[in-house]
Each structure stands twice: as C-alpha cells, then as structure tokens.
Structure 1
Amino acid sequence: MHFWRLDLGNQPWLENPQPNLLGDYSPMAHDFGPAELVSAAGEIEIAAAVHIEADAVDPVRETEWLATLPQADGTGDLPSVLVIGADLSAPDARDVLERQLVASDRVRGVRQILNVHADPLFDYVGRHYMREPQWRANFALLAEFGLSFDLQLYPDQMPAAAILAAEHPDVTFVINHAGMYVDRAHVAGWQIWRDGLRRLASLPNVAIKLSGFGMLDHDWTLGSIRPLIFEAIDAFGVERCLFASNYPVDALYASYDDIWMAYAAVVADASASDNRALFADNACRLYRLSIPEVS
C-alpha cells in the first residue's frame, strides 16, 4: 500500500492528474494515511502493512515523513515496514539510501519503477535503467545494505530482469503487480508475460506479488484475475507468492474488502497453510516483519 500527504508537495503526479494507464485517477488525489487505510479496511483484519514508495520527488523526505506516522496518527504501528524509493542511476544513490536508513529502522527494500512501453499511455520512465552502467553499478548497494528490490516492469523487460537477478543472488526480488500483463490484444502478449514469469521463477531469489489487477483491467472480475493468479502460483509455487492490495490506487476499481475477498475466493480450495503463506507468512519472510497471530 501507499501513503501520501498532498501538502508536502512530494507527489506532483497526484496533485496534477494526467491521463495514463490508471484512467481518471483524480478521485485518489487526497491525503491517504493509516487512519484512511483502517477506515477502508472495515472488517478486514490488518496485521501489518508494507509501505511501497509512492513515486515521491524526494524519497528521503517521504521516508522521514513515514517515520513519524505511527506516533502521529494513533492508529497502531503503521506502516510496519518500508520499501523506499531511490534513483539508482544518480551519482548520490548511496547517500540517498544511507539517509533513509538513518531516518527509519523499518526500511526493508527499494523500489525504482522500471516500466518502459512504446505506447505513451503505459510508459512510466522513458528510459531503460537496466541497460545503464551507472544504474547497474549502484544496484550492488542493495546487497551491501541488505535490501530487497521491488521489481515493477512489463513482461518484455523480464529477460533483462532475470539476468539482473542472476547477477545479484544475494538480493531478494519481488515482482510487482503480477508482472503487469499489459499487451492483451493478441496471444503473443500472454506468451511474453507467461514465459517471462517462468524465466524469473527459475531463480530462487525472485518472488511475485499478486496485486494491482485493476490498473490494467479496470473492470476486473473474479474470472479475469483467476487465470493470472493461477499462472503465477504455478510458476513460483505458493512459497514465493503473496497477495497485496495496492491501496489506495486499486480503490479506483474496487473496495478494500472486495479485493481481499476476491483473493480468498480464488484460493478457497487451498490448504490452511497455503492460505496463510499467501496472505501473511510469505510477506513476513520477504519483508522481514513480525505480526501477531491472525485468524
């Protein structure tokens, strides 16, 4: 999930919504923090929350703000752990990471969005970071600092990501949003996504987060997400898959309750231990967090 406060001026993309793959995302252009998450959750039990960086202009300032939230909002120990932002292509990447590690002892990983696409509607960054020598050199900082990497990319970037993951066996990679199956008009798009998942799954240091289905399928149904979830679980095994809400982004398409109940319905026939792995245990292991017993 993501938190933000607009008066900090750290998310201009949110303050001035522009058309992109999310559709009209102006409804989420408001403050969202622990209190709003707890309110949205309703009867869904939140044992812990992993905060993923929210494309902040100043990631250090974002982490410093997040570090104040458990004391400021009075809604419990949220966020529980942090996946921070950093531009690994920048010459000050080490300093940016070190300052965030000082700001919070909850930092567990890094995300830098990598999505590149020929269609401007789907293109996030406009450059292939994984091809850049400086970015690749700075990537080694993650192992040095004991940090994981949240891997957000499109399927045709997966072969390059597999090479990167093989080069850094001491870094845990967590694919975001089920690999973002974006090119859906032809069977080739499915094959590229499926084959990319299999290639990444062949590496033991790669896991996958099953989330964000609404971003590329605004009218998703249980039937439309089931094959994606099953394909990912078949590739990675239950032990390397975890469900996530991507809230409040996916609030554009479904309620918090609807998202989690849909996941539960998809794996309703799974064993109790498999369900616990998908909904809690794998997240705890991958993001190194402790939670109380959950029902």
Structure 2
Amino acid sequence: MHIIDPHVHLLDLEVHRYPWMENSARNFLGDASAIKKSYLLPDLLADAGADLHVEQIVHVEANHDPADPLAEARWIQSLADAPQNRGLPQAIVAGADLSQENVQQVLEAHLALRNLRGVRQILNVHPSPMYDFVGRHYMREPLWRKNFGLLQRFGLGFELQIYPAQMVEAAQLARAHPDTTLILNHAGMFCDRGSPAGWRLWRDGLRALAACPNVSVKISGLAMLDHHWTLESLRPYALEAIDAFDCERAMFASNFPVDKLFCSYRALWQTYAQIVADCSASERDALLRTNAQRIYRL
C-alpha cells in the first residue's frame, strides 16, 4: 500500500531537548516511557516494513524546546537534504510561539528552510489537568491574534491542535483569516466522550470548522484517546470527520511515534484502509495520499 504520512515526529534525544519527556506527571497518554527515546527516519521506515511504501512524510514539531524552535526545524531540513534519505521529510511544520513579541524574527528564520510549509503551536486547554496542555487561551490574547496575521504574509499554514470546546472559537479565527490554511490535528481530539453532549460538542465543532473552506482535518491520534481501540471503535470517529470535511479536505496520518504506544504502524494504516474500503478508489487515494500531497504542496 502506498501512503503519504502528514503527521510524523522525529526525535533525537542525543542532540535535542523535549520538555514533555522530562515531565513525570501522568496525562491521558498513560505511561509514555516506551516512547521517551530517539525516533529517527530508519525507525519509522522499519515500522512501515515491506507492506507499506511511505512515499513522503510531513514532520510536525515534536514539542521541542520552546527556547530554540529553529534548532529542530534546521535539523529536520538537514535530514531532508541528506542524499540517503530520498528527500524525507518533504515538508516541515516548525514550532513558533505566536504570543511572543519576537515571533516575526522566528518566522523569518524558519523561511530560510526550503521544506517549510507551516507552524504549529499547541493550543489545547482543558479544565482537567489530565488533558490540559497550556493552561491559557491563546486564541483570546490580542498579541497572539495579531501575530497570527503574519502567517498569511509569509505564506504559512497553521496546525490547529485543540479540543472540541475550542472549535467554535477556532472557526471564528479561520473566518477572520480566509487566506491562511488551517489543518485540524487529530480529528479535533475528542476527549469528553462520556455523554451525548460531549459527542454533539465535537460533531458540531467539526462542522463549524468544515464550513470554513480554508480548514482541513487530519484523522490521526485517535488511539491517544482509545488505548484499546478496534476497527469498529475508530470507524465512527474517522467517518464523522470525513463526512464533515468530505474526501477533499480530510487525510489520514500516523502521529508516530506517539501512537506507537497503542498500535503498530502497519496495523494503523491497514485499519485506515479498511475504514474507507467502501469508498471509490480515487477517494481512498485522496484520503491516504493525494490530499496530503496537495495541502502540503509536496
């Protein structure tokens, strides 16, 4: 099976610092000790094995040291430039803190990297410490919103990692910046699953974002919130996201090595293929390959 994986994190603990790996507090991932180690291109390709042909990948910042986001992005570009890596990763989503006064200088430095396509700043905020990432509502801060406008000037997309309760606010942001591409990470991270109201919040939030033509969705990270997943437990979430965004603005992705806590790479992609087995051949190819290729300009 030929795939393009638009959400991969490479890690080199010998050179780089990842503060989340130093935090011993438990969160919704549970015991993450198994992935607190380096994960390099050979590891990803070994996980893919002979069954999957990974044509291209998008590297998304791995919650790297916020004091030096350029170090990670430059390292990823050096991997792409190395002849033995056949161009992998073909696209880079770098880290940038839009709440900082100097973020324009950071973005300008990122632009020197030929594979740069966008930036990510994790925005997940939640009343429960099990789910809260950042402890503040960045999208409500005037400086953050002002700096978000720089992305259009520089032709950069934004990776939108939020929870369902933040989706209406994110849709307002997308409408205010119609020329900036936003990509919803991990199908909106549906965490509050204990009630019909939680389902409606996620479902309606998806549709509020999907109503913005500049927003796409990555169906990934589902296992982070469903550790003992099955084909049938993932199917409704994947199909709901595809139904909201249609086959033209949805794409499957691995979120490896994070989701390696809960599944193998091959099992994950085989499950994706099974979920969309009843789609047309062109729709399956779009969801597994060509949408990512188009959206990330690979």
TM-score range, shorter chain: over 0.9
Give 2:5's aligned residue: none
Q: What is the CA-CA distance between 1:18 and the residue it aligns to? A: 3.1
Structure 1 segment 164-203 matched on structure 2, within 5 A: 164-203=173-212
Q: What is the CA-CA distance between 1:56 and the residue it aligns to? A: 1.0
Give 2:52's aligned residue: 44
1:12 is the counterpart of 2:12: no
Structure 1 segment 92-241 matched on structure 2, within 5 A: 92-102=102-112, 104-241=113-250
1:85 is the counterpart of 2:95: yes
- Work out whether residues 203 and 240 of structure 2, in 8 Å CA contact, stay in contact via their aligned partners in 1: yes
Q: What is the CA-CA distance between 1:19 and the residue it aligns to? A: 1.2
Q: What is the CA-CA distance between 1:215 and the residue it aligns to? A: 0.8
Give the residue type in structure 1 aligned to 2:75. W
Between 58-67 and 120-129, the greater mean CA deviation after superposition? 58-67
Task: Give the whole-Å Cα distance in 2 for the aligned partners of 1:62 and 1:154.
Answer: 26
Give CA-to-partner distance per residue, 1:105-159, whole Å, 9 cap, x none. 0000111110000000100000000000000000001100101111000000001
Q: What is the CA-CA distance between 1:72 and the residue it aligns to? A: 5.0
- Work out whether residues 158 and 197 of structure 1, in 8 Å CA contact, stay in contact via their aligned partners in 2: yes
Give 1:288's aligned residue: 297
Q: What is the CA-CA distance between 1:65 and the residue it aligns to? A: 1.1
Task: Give the whole-Å Cα distance in 1 for the aligned partners of 2:63 and 2:247.
Answer: 29
- Work out whether residues 183 and 189 of structure 1, in 8 Å CA contact, stay in contact via their aligned partners in 2: yes
Give 2:4's aligned residue: none
Structure 1 segment 59-78 matched on structure 2, within 5 A: 59-72=69-82, 74-78=84-88
- Work out whether residues 70 and 79 of structure 1, in 8 Å CA contact, stay in contact via their aligned partners in 2: yes
Give the residue type in structure 1 aligned to 2:9. H
- Work out whether residues 173 and 205 of structure 1, in 8 Å CA contact, stay in contact via their aligned partners in 2: yes
Q: What is the CA-CA distance between 1:71 and the residue it aligns to? A: 4.7
- Work out whether residues 19 and 63 of structure 2, in 8 Å CA contact, stay in contact via their aligned partners in 1: no
Structure 1 segment 234-253 matched on structure 2, within 5 A: 234-253=243-262
- Work out whether residues 18 and 62 of structure 2, in 8 Å CA contact, stay in contact via their aligned partners in 1: yes
| SS of residue paired to 1:56 | coil
- Work out whether residues 178 and 210 of structure 1, in 8 Å CA contact, stay in contact via their aligned partners in 2: yes
Q: What is the CA-CA distance between 1:73 and the residue it aligns to? A: 8.2
| SS of residue paired to 1:49 | strand
Task: Give the whole-Å Cα distance in 2 for the aligned partners of 1:214 and 1:17.
Answer: 21
- Work out whether residues 16 and 72 of structure 2, in 8 Å CA contact, stay in contact via their aligned partners in 1: no
Q: What is the CA-CA distance between 1:233 and the residue it aligns to? A: 1.1
Give the residue type in structure 1 aligned to 2:37. H
Query: Gapped runs of 5+ residues in structure 2?
Result: 1-7
Give 1:292's aligned residue: none
Instruction: Give me the CA root mean square deviation.
Output: 1.1
Give CA-to-partner distance per residue, 1:161-198, whole Å, 9 cap, x none. 00000000000111000111100111111010000001
Give the residue type in structure 2 aligned to 1:227. P
Q: What is the CA-CA distance between 1:33 and the residue it aligns to? A: 1.4
Task: Give the whole-Å Cα distance in 1 for the aligned partners of 2:83 and 2:269.
Answer: 24
Give 1:293's aligned residue: none
Q: What is the CA-CA distance between 1:95 and the residue it aligns to? A: 0.7
| SS of residue paired to 1:183 | coil
- Work out whether residues 11 and 39 of structure 2, in 8 Å CA contact, stay in contact via their aligned partners in 1: yes
1:53 is the counterpart of 2:61: yes
> Among 267, 279, 283, which residue is 1:274 paired with?
283
Q: What is the CA-CA distance between 1:15 and the residue it aligns to? A: 4.2
Q: What is the CA-CA distance between 1:202 and the residue it aligns to? A: 0.8
Change (3 A) 1:255 1:285: same
Give CA-to-partner distance per residue, 1:206-239, whole Å, 9 cap, x none. 1110000111111111111111111111111100
Work out the number of aligned pairs and report it. Answer: 288
- Work out whether residues 179 and 197 of structure 1, in 8 Å CA contact, stay in contact via their aligned partners in 2: yes
Q: What is the CA-CA distance between 1:7 and the residue it aligns to? A: 2.1
Q: Percent identity?
A: 52
Taking structure 2 as the reference length, the TM-score comes to 0.94
Task: Give the whole-Å Cα distance in 1 for the aligned partners of 2:196 and 2:238.
Answer: 18
